[in-house]
Amino acid sequence: MASPSPTYFRKGFGLKADVQEDLDADYAARIVDRMREQDGTLVVGDVTIRLAGEFGFCYGVERAVEYAYQTRRKFPDRHLVLVGEIIHNPHVNAKLRGMGIEILKPDAEGKFDFAHVSADDVVILPAFGVTIADFEALRQVGCVMVDTTCGSVLNVWKRVESYARDGFTALIHGKYYHEETRATASQVTKYPDGAYIVVREMDEAREVCDYIEGKGDRDAFLAKFGKAASPGFDPDVHLRRIGVANQTTMLAKESLAIGEEVGSAIARARGEEARSTDFRTFDTICSATQERQDAVVELLKEPLDAMVVIGGFNSSNTISLAAICADTVPTYHIGDAGGVDPESRTIHFRHAGVQHVEETKRDWLPAAGPLRIGVTAGASTPNNKIGEAVGRIFATRGLSLDEA
């Protein structure tokens, strides 16, 4: 989204050097820097921890957090408002609250109330972006807007907008309630006949494919996808021409497979010519997400006794990393370092591939014998939380980082 208004900023305020010390103090970790220097390896006693080649904060997240810090420095006496969480990491958002930034919460439908936002306020747009409706509402208020929307997300928006412009329905692989997907889906509203439908995984995509091939029930389809489709969505009309896109943090291989499945369904229903004229697909997974997924796949080639994946339980890219690992090795997705309790020898984790199912497990590490533990982290996880988790893993075996 662009605006000629002098109250709209997308490139910070030239204060990076001024806030860098604060950023380092809040998020850097000496132990992580040390592991990087040692090819991602740290050995204490008979426990080896291997860190994936790519992990933690990506460029888009670093930029968003930095811009929030710059905004506080630029406007020390103004009321700062953030439209939802800047990223899906509770510690980062808590830091921003501690800096006096108010974080608005959406309602059950994912909508924000800007009634108390005034023209004197400074509003930060998160890395996920905001919907067109929210952007326009804030522009009408006349407040200063600092837009931290990730560039990879903007690329998906351009793709979805082009689909709507050319008369294609955007089929988005993502979570219909996720901030990024809501913002992406809203791009179709730039065109009167724009339409979208969101599928979370392959099973839902196959239901769409069945309908394309004439196997679905209209009422059941609309009941199933009512919240995940554009207003007035008509499957008999809007599933004729389809362009596939994705939430940037989803599993890349699944997004590509969904695109292939939809294209094949159109070909089976109406022939190969229809596939060439009525179907489009592009890989819109962001490069940082792909790099972290590739790095964990590479790490899983090594002999590992377990994987610990660190990141918010509502972080899609972290969830995707855990799903990849769980196919190969016992995997523990922890929200932060506090999920590992050395004293009780427990770990509190989210089950990979199962929504909202958490467990606290005792004696998750054997008390004796050599161990190799893999560690990675989602793109919204700061290095200090990774370092704390590494220390707690060693401590579970009675080992200290001072011995490294």
pLDDT tens, position by position, 179-234: 999 999 999 999 999 999 999 999 999 999 999 999 999 999 999 999 999 999 99
What's the predicted TM-score (pTM) here?
A: 0.90
Band of residue 26 on the pLDDT scale cut at 50, 70, 90: very high
Report the topology of domain 152-285. Cobalt-precorrin-4 Transmethylase; domain 1 (3.40.1010)
- Give me the chain's average pLDDT, please: 95
Which neighbouring-strand residues pair with 198? 172
Integer CA distances (angstroms), 277 to 80, 241, 374, in order: 48, 8, 46
What pLDDT is recorded for position 288? 87
| pLDDT one-digit tens code per residue, 274-330 | 999 999 998 777 888 889 999 999 999 999 999 999 999 989 899 999 999 999 999
| 231: three-class secondary structure by DSSP | coil
H-run or E-run covering 133: helix 132-141
Instruction: Check pLDDT > 70 for residue 15.
Output: yes
CA–CA gap between residue 41 and residue 303 (Å, rounded): 14
> What does the domain layout of the chain look like in residue ranges?
28-58+288-403, 59-149, 152-285
Band of residue 353 on the pLDDT scale cut at 50, 70, 90: confident
Instruction: Check pLDDT > 50 for residue 4.
Output: no
The average pLDDT across 95-106 equals 97
CA–CA gap between residue 316 and residue 325 (Å, rounded): 14
What pLDDT is recorded for position 387? 97
Can 28-58+288-403 and 152-285 be said to share one CATH topology? Answer: yes
| pLDDT one-digit tens code per residue, 56-90 | 999 999 999 999 999 999 999 999 999 999 999 99
Among 54, 180, 254, 388, the active-site one is 180
What pLDDT is recorded for position 395? 97
Phi, psi of 34 (to 5 degrees): -65, -40
Instruction: Check pLDDT > 60 for residue 142.
Output: yes
pLDDT > 70 in the chain, percent: 98
CA–CA gap between residue 257 and residue 157 (Å, rounded): 21
Instruction: Check pLDDT > 70 for residue 5.
Output: no
What does the DSSP assignment read for 39-107? TTEEEETTEEEEE-SS-S--HHHHHHHHHHHHHHHH-TTSPEEEES-SSS-HHHHHHHHHTTEEEE---
Instruction: Check pLDDT > 70 for residue 3.
Output: no
| 110: three-class secondary structure by DSSP | coil
CATH code that applies to domain 28-58+288-403: 3.40.1010.20
Which carries the bigger pLDDT value, residue 287 or residue 44? 44
Pick the CATH number of 59-149 from 3.40.50.11270, 3.30.70.100, 3.40.50.970, 3.40.47.10: 3.40.50.11270
Active site residue 272: no
